[in-house]
Structures are given as C-alpha cells and as structure tokens.
Amino acid sequence: MCGRYLTPEQADLERAWDLAPVDYRQSFNLAPSQLAPVVRSNEHGAFSMDLFVWGFKPHWAKRGWINARSETVFTSRAFAPAAKRHRCLVPALGWYEWQGAKPPKQPWLFHRDGFQPFAFAGIWTSTSEDETGTFAILTTEAAPDIAPIHNRMPVVLDDADYARWLASDCSEDEAAAIIGNNRADVAVYKVSSYVNKPANNDAACIRPLE
C-alpha cells in the first residue's frame, strides 16, 4: 500500500527527466485525488510530463484505485489494458507508511540517500484527450528490511529501466521483469503524526521524529 508520498521540486523534475516543466507546486504530503506529475511516452517514443489525478479510474468504474498489485496487474480486468499500453513513471522523493495494527500508528518516511528523485512504476488512463488522466502506483511485496513496518511497498524502478518501462514495444514479459527489478535500497526514519492530515503540506512533514 502506498497512500501518501513526496514529490520532487519542479527543478528536480526538469533535471532528472530533461522535460518541459509542468506548472505545479512540490507536495510534501501528496494524497489520493490530488494532481501529481507523471511521465509518459507517445507512439514516437518521445517523453512528456503531465499532471494527472492520483486515483486510476477507467470510464466504467465508480471509484478509483490509488494502487495496483504488480503480481496481478497484467491479468486484472481493471488494470490489464493500461498495464499493457499505458505505463508511466511517477516521480517521487519518498513515500510514507504507517506501522501498527491499530491507532495511533507510527508514520515512517522512506527515501533515497540525499532525497534524490526516483520513479514509481505506474499505469494511467483517460477517456478523452482533453480530460485529465488518472493513475495508480504499482505495489509489491515489501523488501525484508521494510516488511517489519509494512507488508507492501511501491515498485521503485531502476533508473536504467525507465525508458523500457515506457516503451510501446516493451512486452508483457519484459515489463514484468522490470517490475521484478524493484530497487529497495532506501533509507527510512520515523516522522511525526503531523503527516497524518493531508492538509499539512510543508517541510515539517519530513522532519525526523526526535
């Protein structure tokens, strides 16, 4: 489960993906139903960056999904069409998980050393060209050092796999192998319950808990 995450600054997006900027504000506490940057590839292989709504919602669905299980994403009625044709990168600086069987749960922040930007594996959908798209983040079984905090984690793509994940000629088997190359080399520390409220969206969200 990934239900809240941290997005890069606009300058980081431009440097890391060498793309035209999108007009958005960095989020320290991005929540479902909010707009977030995604990177896609068109039929000619050119990358583009857009702001999509976090909450994958096909035209027939009554609700959206923020996550899609990587183990079943290619066979699920809801996700398979997008997994085969509409894959995307979801730029991030980190994500939050909450530890505990019942409240009050302890929030933790996972990030790369130095808060370097990276990308989750994502899928997207849209019913028309002029409609804002929606997306979901793929999840997988947690790495051993993360499992004590939460049993699931987002699929963190290796930088070298970005282009192939987006490529239109990337087969289902190759895409599945890319998902399996999940990079779990992240640092983690406790943060305060301040992050529990989506309305709280500033650097205090990522301040280590003393």
Domain ranges of the chain: 5-206
Angle value at C-alpha 62, between 56 and 64, nearest 5 degrees: 20
Chain-centroid distance, C-alpha 100: 23
Q: Is the pLDDT of residue 24 over 80?
A: yes
DSSP string, the chain: ----EEPPPHHHHHHHH----------SSB-TTSEEEEEEE-TTS-EEEEEEEESB--TT-SS-BSEEETTTTTT-TTTHHHHHH-EEEEEESEEEEEESSSSSPEEEEEE-GGG--EEEEEEEE-SSTTSPPEEEEEEEEPPTTTTTT-SEEE-B--GGGHHHHH-TT--HHHHHHHHHT-----EEEEB-GGGGSTT--SGGGGSBP-
Average pLDDT estimate for 104-118: 94
Interacting residues of 84 by C-beta distance below 8 A, sequence separation 6+: 74, 172
pLDDT at residue number 17: 86
Q: What's the distance, Cα to Cα, between the start and end of the chain in Å?
A: 26
CATH domain 5-206 topology: hypothetical protein yedk fold (3.90.1680)
pLDDT at residue number 82: 96
Confidence of residue 181 (pLDDT cuts 50, 70, 90): confident
Interacting residues of 183 by C-beta distance below 8 A, sequence separation 6+: 118, 156, 157, 158
| Nearest in space to 119 (alpha carbons), one of 138, 143, 140 | 138
pLDDT at residue number 19: 83
Q: What is the mean pLDDT of the chain?
A: 93
| Nearest in space to 156 (alpha carbons), one of 90, 103, 73, 97 | 90
pLDDT at residue number 98: 96
Cα distances (angstroms) measured from residue 190 to each of 98, 125, 168, 193, 204: 10, 34, 39, 10, 12
Contact 37, 13 (CB under 8 A): yes
Average pLDDT estimate for 52-68: 94
- CA dihedral angle for residue 11, residue 119, residue 200, residue 136, rounded to 10 degrees: 130
Task: State pTM to two decimals.
Answer: 0.95
Residues above pLDDT 90, as percent of the chain: 77
